[in-house]
Structure 1
């Protein structure tokens, strides 16, 4: 079996894949088109499955030290009434760890630091990936080319590699929601580690960090491409009367720090996660709405599973076939569950539907809520050593 790989895309999934391959003895080059992370101003929640994947990659402890455990919080109404409370201690008892909140920029830095020197090339966009015979793949980028035994497409939801491999696939579609988010400039007093608030056609949430700052996000139902002239002012008008700490989070944010992205997804599942010696990973393979907080965790699962199959299977082809067989059913099931969760959340706007949803949540026992979470969090990574 050969041992050279090119990873197209230096996001969470691509960096994790490169670390995994490096740990099993492969030579890896990561091509990232951006010079800096485009979502550095955002935060992320990592569930047990993602943290276990990071443990297997050797960076889990560093990530935990930079994170804040989510023990308290839950889901509320705009007036502050609790619909469902989070029991982080029960979740930790069940799976060994609470959900952890961390700035994306910090997670990216820790992953980059785990790579060997010279493995990551920024400002380099792959223009074409070609199977050059049965055992070699060529990646064209900038004005040069690389040849490798394996190429991993981790180039995100707008993946150019996926479009080349599956030209008849409809590709990503707009989910109907747009998200604005930022990290506060200074610490904000919040009463819980993590919260979601569901109002008619809108959601507001926050993730608290160890230094007292917090990431917040606002999700709105609106046509794609809708952009207010002053996003922070528009959010203050929309959410200014919602419960504490929502107004305080907005007030602690610099206007230029607000990120705004329409949420797209791969609503039509891919028929395969590999073509020849090219494997798809993360959002390039199964971009999903963020309603379960599983997008990055599924990419981390992909990365560890891919490295494990390459370490144990006799050939690259059999390894990729096993990777596809293991990852496609699970990740596509999680993506479908994320869509369903969105339909029960900010997608609802009719007063009767909102009332019925709220009543159902209030009547759901905490143990039942924990069991629902465990369906996605209780994943054990294959060993790399």
Structure 2
């Protein structure tokens, strides 16, 4: 039986373990934390990632999720710039990260062994396999150990790696009664967004321009439109994380028998809400490439050829959206908001015509 080691048990890592298990591999998952789990925040799961999870046999994602209610993009005073429906965007389902993690790990079978509290210090490979810490050996290693990947640094020490976006992020969960559909509010170098989870709680997030490493809080949003003040007041624990992504061009996702997956390969800013989803799609693609033929080298080459260009586009697009969203100049902000509003109206006018044309075909 083929053997694999997955380093990192975040959403991407555990999805990779399930995918390899489905391919008939024996898998060892290494996690440096003392136990498996995810942070207490929400996550948007887009249709493409839901489809991959369903193919891997992960059950109940949509049952444990809330479909996003009608949302909009607004100014801090509450004035609507554009409704999300007018933009014709896909609608993700919202789920707590811990719930999603639990649903995936529920599919762990006897082919998967988990070792927590394990720190990877060294990694080496030869034509026959990969060795970690001079004690663990496998045919394949999947590096899903995050944006500051120890394995990526060992493989490509000259790579520039993570770079600061210029803004920090706050996240929280609040129990607030509101009929507001959520969405995002864009201000002067600041943004605030929220969406409902299936249990009725509200997941919110915010970003603010500031130097890296500065401890702060979301007080600047306390006078924004309702229900933002109520969400902040009802939040017990606020998470703060400076936002980094990986420099482009991204390094190859495969190095011999070692594969990079998720943030270790393509960490992106959260502006598209697709970071974890892209990791899930990586895992699905890896499994598919391995099943297409017995040649491991050819399979990994196919994986890199498929996933690296797709991820690179998302990293660039997400970074660009962040730059637009964090603008402070009032003139540029006015132009930005006007363009979004005009674009939404134009798309809403064109959509019925497109539907009529399709019905006549």
Task: State TM-score, norm by structure 2.
Answer: 0.92
1:189 matched to 2:171: no
Name 2:272's counterpart in structure 1: 292
1:175 matched to 2:154: no
What are the superposed Cα offsets for residues 179-199 of structure 1, whole Å, 9 maximum, x if unpaired? 111112x3432411x411100
Task: State TM-score, norm by structure 1.
Answer: 0.86
Name 1:283's counterpart in structure 2: 263
Name 1:306's counterpart in structure 2: 286
Equivalence map 1:209-220=2 (5 Å): 209-220=197-208
What are the superposed Cα offsets for residues 235-263 of structure 1, whole Å, 9 maximum, x if unpaired? 23x11111111001011111xx1111111
Equivalence map 1:254-293=2 (5 Å): 254=236, 257-293=237-273
Distance in 2, matches of 1:105 and 1:139, equals: 28
Q: CA RMSD in A?
A: 2.0
Name 1:119's counterpart in structure 2: 113
Distance in 2, matches of 1:115 and 1:48, equals: 23
Equivalence map 1:95-244=2 (5 Å): 98-117=91-110, 119-131=113-125, 133-140=126-133, 145-184=135-174, 186-192=175-181, 194-228=182-216, 231=217, 235-236=218-219, 238-244=220-226
Q: Closer, same or farther in 2 for the Cα pair 1:148/1:267, shift >3 Å?
A: same
Distance in 2, matches of 1:366 and 1:68, equals: 27
Name 1:62's counterpart in structure 2: 60
Q: CA deviation at 1:119?
A: 2.2
The answer to whether the Cα contact below 8 Å between 2:88 and 2:347 also exists between their aligned partners in 1 is no
Name 2:6's counterpart in structure 1: 7
The answer to whether the Cα contact below 8 Å between 2:37 and 2:101 also exists between their aligned partners in 1 is no
Residue ranges of structure 1 left out of the alignment (5+ in a row): 93-97, 372-385
What are the superposed Cα offsets for residues 177-218 of structure 1, whole Å, 9 maximum, x if unpaired? 11111112x3432411x4111001001111211111111111
Q: Secondary structure at the match of 1:253?
A: coil
Distance in 2, matches of 1:301 and 1:312, equals: 17
Distance in 2, matches of 1:106 and 1:326, equals: 29
Q: Secondary structure at the match of 1:5?
A: strand
Distance in 2, matches of 1:181 and 1:342, equals: 17
4+ residue runs over 4 A deviation: 36-39, 88-92, 366-369
Distance in 1, matches of 2:87 and 2:242, equals: 34
Q: Secondary structure at the match of 1:63?
A: coil
The answer to whether the Cα contact below 8 Å between 2:38 and 2:101 also exists between their aligned partners in 1 is no
The answer to whether the Cα contact below 8 Å between 2:86 and 2:344 also exists between their aligned partners in 1 is no
Q: Secondary structure at the match of 2:122?
A: strand
Aligned residue pairs: how many? 348
Corresponding residue to 1:336 among 296, 305, 316: 316
Q: CA deviation at 1:294?
A: 1.0
Distance in 1, matches of 2:122 and 2:232, equals: 42
The answer to whether the Cα contact below 8 Å between 1:188 and 1:248 also exists between their aligned partners in 2 is no
Distance in 2, matches of 1:65 and 1:281, equals: 27
Distance in 2, matches of 1:270 and 1:14, equals: 19
Residue ranges of structure 2 left out of the alignment (5+ in a row): 351-361
Q: CA deviation at 1:103?
A: 0.6
